[in-house]
Structure formats: C-alpha cells, structure tokens
C-alpha cells in the first residue's frame, strides 16, 4: 500500500495509459479497486486520511454491524469466523486493512480530491487534489461514503446554548457522561444505540428526542437475521412489503405507544423508499419499556440555556447529543457536473453513469435493507464490468 503520491503521478498520462481513480478507501472504494484489478485494469485509490477505513475508525466504540459476517464480506476475502456473527467496529477496520494488503491494492493516502472535471482532451477525467495535484484518469469512481459530513440542524438559539451540544459523530462511549443528564436527539440506529450505551454506561438520565416514530425490527428473530428478510424483499412491490411487515411487527415488537413510541402510520418499506431505515433493536425496546430511556418530543430550538421541545416542554440536560444524520458532501466535488439530485445524492449508482458524464461512477450512497456492505460488493462488480466495457482498452494495467 502506497503512502505517497509518487505511484499515482509517476506514470505517463497518455489517453491509453491512464488508471481508474477511486476516491475513498472505505469498503466501497476497496471493493471496486479489487474488482477492477481482477479484470486487469489499474485502479488507484485516493484517500484523504492516513489509512483505509477512516470513517469506521471514528464510529462509537460499541458499534457492531447489523448485517451478518457472511453477507458483509467484500469480494475475494471472507471475514474470519472469530469475528462472530455481528462484527465489531474494530474488526471491520482490521478486515479492511487486511483486504487492501491481501489484494495488493494501490492506495495513496493523505490526498484529498476537491473537484472532478472532464479532462481537456475529452477522453477522461481531471482530478484536482490537495497540494496542487492534477491527476488524469480514464474513469473515476466516487466512494467517499454515506456518512461523510455530519449534519447538525440550524436550530434557533443553537449557537448560544451553554450546555454541551455535540453531533453523534463525536461520541465514542458513555464514560464522559456517567452520572449526567443526557438528551439524545434522533431515533435512527445511531441515536437508539447511543441512548442504550448511555444507560448501560451509567448516565443518570437519558432522554430520546423523537420527531417521527420509527419502525423497529429485531436484528434477529429465532436465528433469522432481519437482513435476510431485507434481501428477499428487495424486488417486491413496496405496498406488498408494507402489508407483510405489519403482522410481523405486531408479533415481534411490543406496542410502545404508552412510552411515547407509537407504531408508525406509514408502511415500513414506504419509509425506506423515503430514506428512513428501520431501527434494529439492540436494547432500545427493553430500555424504553423499563423507563431507562425516556422518549420526548422533537427539538424545536434553544432558549435561555434550555432545550425547547415541539410540545412546549423546556429541558435543561447536562449534554445534548445530536444523532441527526449526515450529508453526502458531494456538491463541491461533482455538483457542477449535473450528476446529483436536489438532495445532493447521485442520480445513478453502480454500473450506470449520468447523461453527459460517461466514466463517472458512484457507489455507497444508498442504505438498503439488504445491507450496505452487500450492496457495495454487488456494485463493485457492476462498475468494473461497465468500465471494462466502455473503454477498458484505454486504461493502464496494474504493475506486476
């Protein structure tokens, strides 16, 4: 694995001797680089951090995959059985490091790409990178990650709030919050897990601010992982999945209406289509039923040192953790190319390219029920096939 830009810039940039540049050394970028190498095409991975899997290293300590070990492995290397069924964060990082080494991927760290443009000769892409670098590739794969830029709502009074307000991206474990009153904002998977972690880690009081009640599913029921159901449902009509999910939810998940979490009025798969992934239970149900996690209304703003809720309640917690999601952060990189939708998400993914942007691919910007890592593996094969089909003869070959 390279640790400088020498290998990325030393070779000629003749149109018939250009690599495919992959932006991001997370699981998506690594999987694509391997798939391209398998087809005999040179892929150079550019990573702004000093190591692979940078975003995984920043996740909170208790994180485990909600997808099974077997269905989370990337192409060409299984995850070790010793990782267990639900792989821990640190083991994911170890796996990504091993994956890069095992497949001898060409990775250049410490290089941040700020803008992608069509090459002046019209036969490829020009990347503007840190240090004034300009790199020309036959094709580009953007794999900068789903959780790229923390999103903190612009709540009124936010900047004047004297309490501790942090995005969940900064949360590591419950130790700093022992004996304290904490408000967690947002009931996605991250917010739910942090709330449970705080309870188990000794926080004096934990409240969970919820704007829209989520669908909650068991990570595994009678040994059957929720991911398996997600895979089976991928190609079924949305309405059918919604109808099938209702009786399953009534049987497997208790009614938490009395605790502030009513069953959602919209269908599970309909919510997924809108970008709301179900919360996989890793202790939230029991914590809410026991009153250890108190569900409160959505946050409307901050005033006079207090948190204002949508129902008029005012709270004065010691700390606020905003599990309010992330932005893809692609506007500066490719926003000028007309390849993003109104929400800043790529118009296409996998082996498809947007009109007017041939050779520009995206992976890792969806969060499907079937599991993101599984979809990254599938996308990698599709992208490599498309790249080889639409100009593989112009791409340089891997060294050795």
Domain limits, the chain: 6-148+328-392, 152-322
Question: Cα 64 to the chain's mean position, in Å?
Answer: 13
Question: pLDDT 10s per residue in the chain (400 long)?
Answer: 544 433 444 444 455 579 999 999 999 999 999 999 999 999 999 999 999 999 999 999 999 999 999 999 999 999 999 999 999 999 999 999 999 999 999 999 999 999 999 999 888 999 999 999 999 999 999 999 888 889 999 999 998 888 889 999 999 999 999 999 999 999 999 999 999 999 999 999 999 999 999 999 999 888 888 888 889 888 889 999 999 999 988 999 999 999 999 999 899 989 887 778 899 999 999 999 999 999 999 999 999 999 999 999 999 999 999 999 998 899 999 999 999 999 899 999 999 999 999 999 999 998 888 899 999 999 999 999 999 998 767 788 887 6
- Residues with Cβ within 8 Å of 241's Cβ and at least 6 positions away in sequence, in order, are 233, 267, 268, 269
Superfamily classification of domain 152-322: FAD/NAD(P)-binding domain (3.50.50.60)
DSSP 8-state secondary structure symbol assigned to residue 152: -
Q: Which of 115, 117, 152, 157 is nearest to 132 (CA)?
A: 115
Same fold, 6-148+328-392 and 152-322: yes
What is the phi-psi region of residue 110: left when phi exceeds 0, alpha when psi lies from -120 to 50, beta otherwise?
Answer: left
- Distance (Å) of CA 392 to CA 183, 192, 319, 397: 53, 45, 54, 10
Q: Which of 62, 69, 116 is nearest to 89 (CA)?
A: 62
Token pair belonging to 189: 């998977």
Q: What is the pTM of this model?
A: 0.90
Question: Cα 84 to the chain's mean position, in Å?
Answer: 22
Output the pLDDT for position 176.
96
DSSP string, 69-110: SGGGPPTT-PPPGGG-SS-BHHHHHHHHHHHHHHTT-EEEES
Superfamily classification of domain 6-148+328-392: FAD/NAD(P)-binding domain (3.50.50.60)
């Amino acid at each position: 694995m390279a640790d400088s830009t020498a290998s990325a810039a030393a070779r000629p940039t003749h149109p018939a001797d250009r690599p495919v540049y992959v932006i991001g050394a997370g699981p998506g970028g690594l999987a694509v680089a391997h798939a391209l190498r398998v087809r005999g095409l040179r892929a150079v991975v550019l990573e702004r951090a000093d190591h692979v899997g940078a975003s995984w290293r920043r996740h909170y300590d208790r994180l485990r995959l909600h997808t099974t070990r077997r269905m989370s492995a990337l192409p060409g290397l299984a995850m070790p059985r010793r990782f267990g069924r639900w792989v821990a964060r640190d083991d994911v990082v170890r796996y990504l490091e091993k994956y890069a080494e095992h497949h001898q991927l060409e990775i250049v760290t410490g290089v941040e790409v700020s803008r992608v443009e069509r090459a002046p000769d019209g036969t490829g892409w020009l990347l503007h990178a840190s240090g004034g670098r300009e790199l020309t590739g036959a094709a580009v794969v953007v794999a900068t990650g789903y959780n790229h830029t923390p999103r903190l709502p612009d709540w009124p009074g936010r900047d004047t709030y004297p309490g501790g307000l942090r995005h969940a991206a900064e949360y590591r474990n419950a130790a700093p919050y022992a004996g304290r009153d904490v408000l967690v904002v947002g009931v996605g998977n991250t917010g739910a897990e942090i709330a449970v972690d705080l309870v188990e880690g000794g926080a004096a009081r934990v409240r969970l601010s919820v704007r829209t009640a989520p669908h909650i599913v068991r990570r595994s029921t009678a040994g059957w992982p929720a991911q398996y159901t997600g895979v089976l449902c991928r190609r079924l009509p949305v309405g059918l999945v919604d109808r099938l999910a209702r009786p399953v939810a009534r049987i497997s998940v208790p009614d938490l209406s009395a605790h502030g979490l009513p069953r959602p009025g919209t269908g599970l798969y309909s919510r997924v289509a809108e970008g709301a992934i179900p919360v996989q239970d890793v202790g939230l149900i029991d914590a809410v039923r026991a009153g250890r996690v108190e569900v409160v209304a959505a946050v409307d703003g901050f005033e006079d040192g207090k948190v204002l809720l949508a129902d008029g309640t005012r709270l004065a917690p010691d700390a606020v953790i905003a599990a309010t999601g992330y932005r893809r952060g692609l506007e500066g990189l490719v926003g000028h190319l007309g390849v993003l939708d109104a929400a800043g998400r790529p118009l296409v993914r996998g082996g498809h390219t947007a009109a007017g942007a041939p050779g520009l691919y995206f992976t890792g910007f969806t969060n499907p029920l079937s599991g993101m890592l599984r979809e990254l593996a599938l996308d990698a094969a599709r992208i490599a096939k498309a790249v080889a089909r639409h100009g593989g003869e112009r791409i340089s070959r891997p060294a050795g």
